[in-house]
Structure 1
Amino acid sequence: MIKRGNKMIKVDNLSYSFPQKDLYNNISFSLEDGQHCAFIGRNGNGKSTLIDIIMNPEKYMFDGKLDMDPNCRIGYVSQFSEIEKIKDTTVYEYIGTEFIELQNEITSICTQMETSMDIDTLLEKYQQALDAFNAIGGDDFESIIDKKLNLANLTKHKDLMISELSGGEFKLIQVIKEMLSNPDLMIMDEPDVFLDFENLNSLKDLINSHKGTLLIITHNRYLLNHCFNKILHLENMELQEFDGRFIDYNLSLLQTKIELQELAIADNEEIERNAKLVDKLRYIATNNAEAARGRSLKARVKIQERLEARRIKEPFLDIAQPNIIFETDIDVEDTIALKVNDYSVSYDEMLLENINFEIQPTDKVAIIGSNGTGKTTLLRAIFKNNSDSIEISPDIKMAYLSQHQDETLNESNTILEEFFDVGFKTYTDIESYISEYGFEGEIVNQKIGSLSGGEKNLLQLAKVSAIKAGMLLLDEPTSHLDTYSQIALEKAIENYKGAILMISHDYYFISNCMDYVLIIEDKNLRKMTMKKFRRKIYANHFDRDYLEVEQKKKSIETKIELALKDTNFELAKALSEELEELVKLL
């Protein structure tokens, strides 16, 4: 039994490298019982690999030390769904697998005891099974299942087959199943990907209700702002830990950035002055054979080396964002880019019925709706343009980003090979282009199938950008993307001159980028202004003033960044104090 407050995991000076990439350089952190920890960092930095090292240390040859409580039981929710393996199981049977198996084992042992002569062995087995049964709250297990399903708004799904669930609903069921196994440590790798807002809110409630320790990889700003009391941040092979909320961590990073940039300027000025002295002394020493001249030069060079060694490094502040730019060669402002007339689609049942809407050449529109309502089907039909109900301007070229990444990327290609399909002529041209998206060095020769989900989405964005289309069809473009890439994508959309039709469940992203939304409800689609959309979301899920405070926060952060660019540190400090007061309201 792990005692409350004990260190469940302690990592000291851990280093690990792949043949083509260094991942960690002497990283250290600890995780205590009861903490809810968010694990953040750029795509491809090795977060999922570190999780796997914790779960399966014997698989890896790493330097350093990893200590775990020997009694620690780990539960795990992968970012990948394995719904096919259990689709013919009911929700209750899937969630209660361990409970049902233990219940059957206890019944079987009791039956054997009626006729067996070896009672002592069976009693020992019975006690072991009973202990395991009690450890998961066996006597109250059905009641516990009902409470968790109710918390996730999935009570009515208890007797459904797994195959009848949407992807988002199944993800929540996976989370509930692992929580009910009562692990000491529960690890989740991007559990929020593709969840609609209702299911995301249910995930938030499940996380916050969990009494055990959580370690969750996520880039979702809603969860980050509402669920965690510890942050692990992995950047540039180094790791930083912070006890507190994500919003306070971000403020701390910004305040540190102001302080370090001011110090860095002073350091740089001193290094520059010393470098001039070194050059002067070297010139004198070259033209003068006196030993004292040489000693002065050596002393000054050593001073310069110490200054360079101490030069301020910013592994958690100097974080490269991808340079995403969407361009279009087409100017068709006087026409309708897309018109959909009486579009319907059904599978086993009607998904969408008599849908009608049109998109102007510069409209930026989000399609929203619950998981499984036909959004992706509609977007794919528009891209394929194979329905009489869909009219696309002949002057408009389209580009498509799919939530199913292997639909647009050939995972057996290397990164370099993939871009010959979009018109690049030489490897040099491709290398220059994709370096803007953070793909440099040996990674360009890796197979796409070996990349992280976020890296694959960045590659999709790079391909979309290279097409220079007049209309972008984006299906969950922020999925798997780290927060820095999300912000870069927001800027690219803001500056894009063409039309965008986007599926997203990311409230922040929609609010920051879109002109209006098309909401799918009851098989129909209706237009909604951003003002009404914000009101709808916030009425159900946020405090009344949350939106206003968030918008003010973003405005002040932008002003701080501009002040730092102008090296106006006094203004930056004054703004950070204003920001600190605002953060207290959140």
Structure 2
Amino acid sequence: MMIKVDNLSFSFPQKELYTNITFTLEEGQHCAFIGTSGSGKSTLIDILMDPERYLFEGKLEIDPDCTIGYVSQFSQLDRSQDTTVFEYIGEKYIKIQQDIESICADMATTTDMDTLLEKYQFALDAFEAIGGEDFESNILKKLNLANLMKLKDVRVSDLSGGEFKLIQVMKEMLERPDLMIMDEPDVFLDFDNLNALKNLINTHKGMLLVVTHNRYLLNHCFNKILHLENTEIQEFDGRYIEYNFSLLQTKIELQELTIAEEEEMERNNGIIDNLRHIATYNSEASRGRALKARVRFQERFEARRIKAPFVDIKQPNIRLDIDDEIEEDTTILNVTNYRVAFDELILDHVNFEMKATDKVALIGPNGTGKTTLLRDIFNNTHEAIDMNADVKVAYLSQFQGEMLEDSNTILEDFIEAGFKTYDEIRSYLLNYGFEGEILDQKIASLSGGEKNMLQLAKVAASKAQMLLLDEPTSHLDTYTQIALEKAIKDYKGAILMISHDFYSVVNGMDYVLIIDDKTIRKMSMRKFRKMIYASHFDRDYLEKEQKKKALEMEIEVALKNTNFLLAKPLVDELEELIKLL
């Protein structure tokens, strides 16, 4: 057991984060750390990495020999860095190698051989501890596993953001920490890089703690789940897909118990009312004692009623409405011979058009100009872009500071967005899970998921007829992703969406615009499915995943109507489907 957390409680002045949470991390575990946005996952990671900085209650025991590696959620690429990818990954090995060579050179002239021999042995031990003897071949193996051998001699400053994130993961893994922590390493990775991350995780021999909301990784990578919700934590040994099924079964059991409890409480209330009525005309002491006993029984019964923070999870109510619908056949966007170049040509001869209700995914590898195109469409100043003048457009940026002012509070930002009163904002943002003191917080203090939720709330409030969405599911928890998918499905306008999320593309889009050889071509959803099955999934995986989600929704509806006769056979059907997945 490397890490043990026992009854840990912690809060900020404006928010309670954890109440007596308990869990362990042991050797060999690949643990997914999940929970709704703003529940405190990143803060808990900070506490694990540097417990001296935080005043918490409870116990945190970390094996004194446990080394921790870390890949940040918001890693920044240093464009001035002149080292190659190979040199960057091998930085620690190369440094120790140079130290050893320097010590050997000093041995030829020294009179204090004992001190140098001690330094030499220390350096050799450090080199051996991180697998230094085979470091060159190990780096090449990792690059090959991630299909990034072509980057070996490329300068780090020339990498895309997604490539740099993978290189960071490799660098930390190769240094062999006992525990490696990664905070949303999947954000903004394209399809191929996401698959590479999956391979790196699954072949890693050490202990992992990974914050992620990515359903592809969750379904394919982990053997333990930590779920933080409503200040409590749940520990589950097993796969995410099994954990979700376990939650659903628990929900059914709890709902049956809840109904039985409510009937019992109603019966007790009837007895209490009857005893009170009798007490108005019969003052015998035994009657009073019976009434007091029954009231105490009811209070104890209420106190021990089952509370289930992991079953009753708040899902946002995302609604994407529009002010005025446009005729379905109306062309709202025409792009003709669009071209963009920076140091080199990125896109050329780009031609496509969109109708008033088209829902389109724009996909392609990291660094191929997708965001630049989307931003040019929103700004509508490029000569190759013709936007229908009657169409109102809203934009969600993957660079959250582009659409949100970090120095504003949430309330101030929405007043600037056109809301009239604070009460109007409070009422509106309840649908998105924002309430209480958080509305007075600076936007800079919010988590990545909370910032993206605010952007979604702004986009929805605009009631625009066309939405430009750049990685809208990034940082969002799985419950919000599913709510967004439903909102997109119900939306009556046009959507052009950049996404590397298989599920969002397949579940919500009409067709795909795919970047290929520096231009864009249209692809049907059937061909897109065929293409990603060839690279990433077993055949019909996404259809099975979609059927699983539909069954889960049917079960939820049955539970809402307390129809357990319908819910239970649906759960059996779901269990069989999960075996196929």
The TM-score normalised by the length of structure 1 is 0.97
Q: Which residue of 2 aligns with 1:4?
A: none
Q: Which residue of 2 aligns with 1:3?
A: none
- What residue identity is the alignment partner of 1:255? Q
- What residue identity is the alignment partner of 1:338? L
Q: Which residue of 2 aligns with 1:580?
A: 575
1:523 to 518, 534, 542: 518
1:547 paired with 2:565, answer no
Give 1:287 shift.
5.3
Q: Which residue of 2 aligns with 1:422?
A: 417
Q: Which residue of 2 aligns with 1:399?
A: 394
Give 1:240 shift.
0.5
Once the two structures are superposed, what CA deviation does each residue of 1:18-62 show, in whole Å capped at 9, x if it has no partner?
110000111101111011000000000000111111110011111
Q: Which residue of 2 aligns with 1:179?
A: 173
1:277 to 234, 253, 271: 271
Kept in 1, the 8 Å contact 2:507–2:546? The answer is: no
Kept in 2, the 8 Å contact 1:414–1:446? The answer is: yes
Once the two structures are superposed, what CA deviation does each residue of 1:123-157 show, in whole Å capped at 9, x if it has no partner?
11111110010111111111100000011111111
**Residues in 2 aligned to 1:280 and 1:521: alpha-carbon distance in whole angstroms:** 78
- What residue identity is the alignment partner of 1:509? S
Identity percentage of aligned residues: 70
Kept in 1, the 8 Å contact 2:6–2:59? The answer is: yes
2:11 to 10, 17, 21: 17
Q: Which residue of 2 aligns with 1:191?
A: 185
- What residue identity is the alignment partner of 1:159? D
SS of aligned partner of 1:173? helix
**Residues in 2 aligned to 1:381 and 1:473: alpha-carbon distance in whole angstroms:** 11
SS of aligned partner of 2:78? helix
The TM-score normalised by the length of structure 2 is 0.98
Q: Which residue of 2 aligns with 1:101?
A: 95
Of residues 266-275 and 86-95 in structure 1, the stretch that sits farther from structure 2 once superposed is: 86-95
1:115 to 109, 114, 123: 109
**Residues in 2 aligned to 1:14 and 1:171: alpha-carbon distance in whole angstroms:** 32
**Residues in 1 aligned to 2:116 and 2:374: alpha-carbon distance in whole angstroms:** 60
**Residues in 1 aligned to 2:484 and 2:270: alpha-carbon distance in whole angstroms:** 43
1:83 paired with 2:104, answer no
Give 1:286 shift.
5.0
**Residues in 2 aligned to 1:490 and 1:566: alpha-carbon distance in whole angstroms:** 24
Kept in 1, the 8 Å contact 2:559–2:567? The answer is: yes
- What residue identity is the alignment partner of 1:433? Y
Of residues 552-561 and 489-498 in structure 1, the stretch that sits farther from structure 2 once superposed is: 552-561
**Residues in 1 aligned to 2:546 and 2:459: alpha-carbon distance in whole angstroms:** 30
Of residues 36-45 and 548-557 in structure 1, the stretch that sits farther from structure 2 once superposed is: 548-557
Of residues 510-519 and 84-93 in structure 1, the stretch that sits farther from structure 2 once superposed is: 84-93
**Residues in 1 aligned to 2:417 and 2:178: alpha-carbon distance in whole angstroms:** 49
SS of aligned partner of 1:88? coil
Structural mapping, 1:308-323, within 5 Å: 308-323=302-317
SS of aligned partner of 1:274? helix
Gaps spanning 5+ residues in structure 2: where?
none
Structural mapping, 1:279-294, within 5 Å: 279-285=273-279, 288-294=282-288
Q: Which residue of 2 aligns with 1:473?
A: 468
- What residue identity is the alignment partner of 2:122? Q
SS of aligned partner of 1:556? helix
**Residues in 2 aligned to 1:107 and 1:503: alpha-carbon distance in whole angstroms:** 50
Q: Which residue of 2 aligns with 1:440?
A: 435
Kept in 2, the 8 Å contact 1:148–1:206? The answer is: yes
SS of aligned partner of 2:552? helix
**Residues in 1 aligned to 2:27 and 2:321: alpha-carbon distance in whole angstroms:** 50
**Residues in 2 aligned to 1:331 and 1:76: alpha-carbon distance in whole angstroms:** 48
SS of aligned partner of 1:465? helix
SS of aligned partner of 2:7? strand
2:240 to 242, 246, 257: 246
**Residues in 1 aligned to 2:550 and 2:404: alpha-carbon distance in whole angstroms:** 37
**Residues in 2 aligned to 1:78 and 1:433: alpha-carbon distance in whole angstroms:** 33
Give 1:283 shift.
4.0
Give 1:280 shift.
3.3
**Residues in 2 aligned to 1:277 and 1:292: alpha-carbon distance in whole angstroms:** 15
- What residue identity is the alignment partner of 2:524? T
Find runs of 4+ consecutive structure 1 residues off by over 6 angstroms: none
- What residue identity is the alignment partner of 1:471? M
2:324 to 316, 320, 330: 330
Kept in 2, the 8 Å contact 1:365–1:500? The answer is: yes
Specify whether residues 555 and 206 from structure 1 end up closer, same or farther in structure 2 by C-alpha distance, changes over 3 A only. Answer: same
**Residues in 1 aligned to 2:83 and 2:546: alpha-carbon distance in whole angstroms:** 45
2:222 to 228, 244, 269: 228
SS of aligned partner of 1:337? strand
Give 1:551 shift.
3.0
SS of aligned partner of 2:210? strand
**Residues in 1 aligned to 2:167 and 2:282: alpha-carbon distance in whole angstroms:** 80
Q: How many residues align?
A: 580
- What residue identity is the alignment partner of 1:455? E
**Residues in 2 aligned to 1:84 and 1:452: alpha-carbon distance in whole angstroms:** 23
1:408 paired with 2:378, answer no
Q: Which residue of 2 aligns with 1:449?
A: 444
1:343 to 333, 338, 351: 338
**Residues in 1 aligned to 2:79 and 2:366: alpha-carbon distance in whole angstroms:** 21
Q: Which residue of 1 aligns with 2:553?
A: 558
**Residues in 2 aligned to 1:359 and 1:296: alpha-carbon distance in whole angstroms:** 74
**Residues in 1 aligned to 2:36 and 2:188: alpha-carbon distance in whole angstroms:** 19
Once the two structures are superposed, what CA deviation does each residue of 1:561-581 show, in whole Å capped at 9, x if it has no partner?
221122111221111111112
1:486 paired with 2:453, answer no
**Residues in 2 aligned to 1:464 and 1:507: alpha-carbon distance in whole angstroms:** 22
**Residues in 1 aligned to 2:230 and 2:112: alpha-carbon distance in whole angstroms:** 61
Q: Which residue of 1 aligns with 2:207?
A: 213
Give 1:508 shift.
0.7
Once the two structures are superposed, what CA deviation does each residue of 1:286-319 show, in whole Å capped at 9, x if it has no partner?
5554333322221111111111112221200100
Kept in 1, the 8 Å contact 2:161–2:366? The answer is: yes
Q: Which residue of 1 aligns with 2:62?
A: 68
Please give the root-mean-square deviation of Cα atoms over the aligned residues, in Å.
1.2
Give 1:195 shift.
0.1
**Residues in 2 aligned to 1:547 and 1:488: alpha-carbon distance in whole angstroms:** 18
SS of aligned partner of 1:84? coil
Gaps spanning 5+ residues in structure 1: where?
1-6
**Residues in 2 aligned to 1:434 and 1:550: alpha-carbon distance in whole angstroms:** 31
Of residues 535-544 and 213-222 in structure 1, the stretch that sits farther from structure 2 once superposed is: 535-544
Kept in 2, the 8 Å contact 1:335–1:393? The answer is: no
Give 1:86 shift.
6.0
1:503 to 483, 498, 501: 498
Give 1:418 shift.
0.6
- What residue identity is the alignment partner of 1:236? N
- What residue identity is the alignment partner of 2:183? D
Once the two structures are superposed, what CA deviation does each residue of 1:468-520 show, in whole Å capped at 9, x if it has no partner?
10000000000000001101101111111111000000001111111111001
**Residues in 1 aligned to 2:234 and 2:6: alpha-carbon distance in whole angstroms:** 13
Q: Which residue of 1 aligns with 2:252?
A: 258
1:362 to 357, 364, 368: 357
Kept in 2, the 8 Å contact 1:326–1:493? The answer is: yes
SS of aligned partner of 2:2? strand
Kept in 2, the 8 Å contact 1:91–1:158? The answer is: yes
1:459 to 449, 454, 463: 454
